Amino acid sequence: MPTFNVFTDLIEPLGEFLQSHPALQGISIYYDRTRERRPQVALLPAINYFWIGPTEDLARGSGSTSLQVRRKKITIGFGVWVASTNPVELDRALWEVVGTLEDLLRSKTNFNPNKGITLTDAPIANDVDYSGESPLVGSVLVTCQFEMFGGRFAGGPDL
């Protein structure tokens, strides 16, 4: 079994956490494996989330056969998508979902203490885009960075 399994340790639990939260009910939330990363309009409002590579796997210790601490940094992107025929309603709904998502991510900075998974103190970044004519589609790309820790910390428990 690998020290770090990004899919089973982070991606799946992250989706389960978001899908189960009452504040996001009625929003389609799914892990997106496509290159386009653009949901069909019929699915909106939606949050699709995806791994943004590359990752960093940092090793600290006395050598490659006796690693004391390993740390892996993973960037996850969240596409927040909303459609409306009214631009003002679109913006209100879009930024409501973005703010809720950011609040939920910040509330789980210690995402999984048993597996050593945390949300880093790096900023959560946003980038907005509008497209379509009827309905209008607005999207915000929210990115954040997680860290996975493995190994033995000096004087601490195995992770």
Residue 157 falls inside a structural domain? no
For residue 124, pLDDT over 70 is answered with yes
Specify whether the CB–CB gap between 101 and 125 falls below 8 A: no
Report the alpha-carbon distance of residue 75 to residue 101 in Å, rounded: 16
Residue 69 falls inside a structural domain? yes
pTM, two decimal places: 0.84
Residue 99 falls inside a structural domain? yes
Residue 158 falls inside a structural domain? no
Q: Which tokens go with 15? A: 């989706």
Report the alpha-carbon distance of residue 159 to residue 156 in Å, rounded: 9
Residue 1 falls inside a structural domain? no
Q: What is the pLDDT of residue 91?
A: 93
Residue 159 falls inside a structural domain? no
Residue-number span of the structural domain to which 92 is assigned: 6-151
* DSSP 3-state of 8: helix
**Whole-number average pLDDT of the chain:** 85
* CATH assignment of the domain containing 28: 3.30.2000.10
Report the alpha-carbon distance of residue 64 to residue 60 in Å, rounded: 9
